Structure 1
Amino acid sequence: MTVDPAEEVADTGGRPAPLRRAEHRAGVHVRVEPPTRFERLLYGFVRGALVGFARLWLRVEYAGLEQVPTDRPFVLAPVHRSNIDFLLASGCTRRRQRFLGKDTLWKPGFGPLWSALGGIPVARGTADREALRACQAVVEGGEPLVMFPEGTRQEGPEVQELFDGPAFVQARTGAPIVPVGIGGSQRAMPKGARFVRPAKVVVVIGEPLEAPEAEGAKARRTAVRTQTALLHERLQTLFDEAQKRAGTPNRR
């Protein structure tokens, strides 16, 4: 998700416009209120099935699970090389996490399911302010949030240029950013693949990046860009380690 903090601050006086408890965008129901009991149970069932599959089929290993906060919301920021990165991210904590997903997934018949599972639709490649407001609202409500800072799936061993989304949400909420390197997922399910291949996958979770102190719009804009640069550096280190542990050649 492309974010321009300067434009957002200038247009809203330093604070995103409030998001109603639930909104409709192009026929999509965006939920930001706390999950219902049914939604918690549904998420727990689906998460358990996906994590179980990953452990058996992909022999997935997690390193650094102790880095994930258990008593406060956070923004999980993984690298993105495969469609299975979503299920691998869900294994980082038993807590219900909210996920940003491309709005084209909210097709008739499937939209309510993605929303019940905690999905937040985003128009990729745009400054989707409604999605940003939803992200801020769910984090302020105490829920963890998953944002892939590279945006869409990428290829190769280099972490690509990051969008400011995670740092922007952190600047608004104070939540820590948890960087995550995922090694081997591209080998298990590369772009264009219809099925998941049995391959070794390793997820390495790094130390959370705490929110820096910043007073004033200019300081916040600088902090967002600085945090994004630091996140890029941390992600590259974690990605390299995860690739090495997964036995994936690093051709950088």
Structure 2
Amino acid sequence: MSFYQFAKSVVSGIFKPLYRIEALGLENFPKEGGVLLCANHIHNFDPIVVGIMAPRPVHYMAKEELFSVPVLGNIVRNCNAFPVKRGMSDREALRKGLNVLKEGNVLGLFPEGHRSKTGELGKGLAGAGFFALRSDALVVPCAIIGPYKSLKKLKVIYGKPIPMEELKQTKASAEHVTELIMSEIHKLIKEHR
């Protein structure tokens, strides 16, 4: 058993009953190939919750500062995360993210770039559109709904993959594609709230 699987089973045993987490739309999650998983960001635990509920291991970009924290840095690294410098274009992190997708893995992104203080969906950054346009990955919108309060229900909803062929042919901008991804996440939130 890998460290990722071990950590996932331990954390699942705590989080699933505590937050009564329910996953919907698992049939929409591709069983193989590169997947760009784009979710809203309402709490610091979102990466953990999306990771334990996804049917496949998820790779994340995590802020560079986490990797220099003793013990935590090793845990984050062993849970498929790689560092990104925030507030600037980090070419190395973009390259690493594209490689994750090219190798047929799942890259988890929170397009807003930071946690929403109000719980409402914010504007997405162009990074999500960049990965969607530059890879052959299927783009899956994901909505996290509910309060992170013990014994209240928390839902993780996976939408159908967003078609990208036409957007690539018409050379859509990364900003436009990100807006489309955000609108699909918004639809999931409205439908399941």
TM-score (norm 2): 0.90
The match for 1:126 is: 88
The match for 2:61 is: 100
Letter in structure 2 aligned against 1:211: M
Letter in structure 2 aligned against 1:236: H
Q: Displacement of 1:91 after TM fit? A: 3.1
Candidates 177, 182, 186, aligned match of 1:227: 177
Q: Displacement of 1:223 after TM fit? A: 4.1
Residue 34 of structure 2 contacts residue 136 of structure 2 at CA under 8 Å; is this kept in 1? no
Please give the secondary structure, in 2, of the residue aligned with 1:91: helix
Moved over 6 A (4+): none
Larger Rg: 1
The match for 1:200 is: 153
Q: Displacement of 1:71 after TM fit? A: 1.6
Counterparts of 1:223 and 1:210, CA distance in 2: 15
Counterparts of 1:55 and 1:165, CA distance in 2: 30
Two-structure CA RMSD over aligned residues (Å) = 1.9
Structure 1 gaps, min length 5 = 1-39, 189-195, 245-252
1:204-246 Cα offsets, whole Å, 9 max, x none, are 111111322435xxx54x242332111111111112334x2xx
Counterparts of 1:124 and 1:199, CA distance in 2: 33
Counterparts of 1:180 and 1:133, CA distance in 2: 23
Question: In the alignment, is residue 42 of structure 1 matched against residue 6 of structure 2?
Answer: no
The match for 1:150 is: 112
Question: In the alignment, is residue 179 of structure 1 matched against residue 141 of structure 2?
Answer: yes
Please give the secondary structure, in 2, of the residue aligned with 1:235: helix
Question: In the alignment, is residue 87 of structure 1 matched against residue 40 of structure 2?
Answer: no
Q: Displacement of 1:70 after TM fit? A: 0.5
Letter in structure 2 aligned against 1:98: H
Please give the secondary structure, in 1, of the residue aligned with 2:165: coil
1:147-206 Cα offsets, whole Å, 9 max, x none, are 10011111225311101212211211121111111111xx31xxxxxxx64422011111
Counterparts of 1:66 and 1:41, CA distance in 2: 25
TM-score (norm 1): 0.70
Q: State the identity %.
A: 28
Please give the secondary structure, in 1, of the residue aligned with 2:87: coil
Residue 74 of structure 1 contacts residue 143 of structure 1 at CA under 8 Å; is this kept in 2? yes
- Structure number with higher relative contact order (C-alpha < 8 Å, ≥ 6 residues apart): 2
